[in-house]
Amino acid sequence: MKIKDIQNDIIDEFAMFEDWMQRYEYMIDLGKSLPLIDEKYKTEDHIIKGCQSKVWVHAKLDDDKLIFTADSDAIITKGIIAILIRSYSNQKPQDIIDADTAFIDEIGLKEHLSPTRANGLVSMIKQLKLYAIAYQTQLN
């Protein structure tokens, strides 16, 4: 499935909820289903800088596609990274680099986060794209 299709699915899912409390609950549920990062990657090297909470992300290349795992010490943040990983995991690095993030605005996520969480969201996207750039460089 292409990134844009996954993002459209996420937009449709968020549209089903009437208010932001329901959407927050849904994000928390998504966080609970997140493929967990191996404990050996819960190190300073894997922490995303710029997040209020601790967020660890690991990426590996498997069959020319990036596979992400992550965890966070905060339930909302864990839900946010789960949404991003759902969008970008199991995709080719170049596709991740080229993908836009308009779906974040379309679901209204950024406007319903505190300024520090919104900054953390930007940092998470940046880090996932940096992984994609690093692996794309290896493929070239």
pLDDT at residue 37, as a whole number: 93
CATH topology of domain 3-139: Sufe protein. Chain: A (3.90.1010)
Mean pLDDT of the chain: 94
Domain boundaries, the chain: 3-139
Q: Which residue has the tokens 């379309």?
A: 106
Active site residue 140: no
pLDDT at residue 113, as a whole number: 87
Catalytic residue among 51, 66, 83, 84: 51
User: pLDDT, tens digit, for every residue of 38-89?
Assistant: 999 999 999 998 888 999 999 999 999 999 999 999 999 999 999 999 999 9
d(CA 93, CA 133): 7
Please give the residue that has the higher pLDDT: either 36 or 122. 122
| DSSP 3-state of 101 | coil
Alpha helices in 1-140 (DSSP H): 3-15, 20-32, 75-88, 93-98, 102-106, 115-139
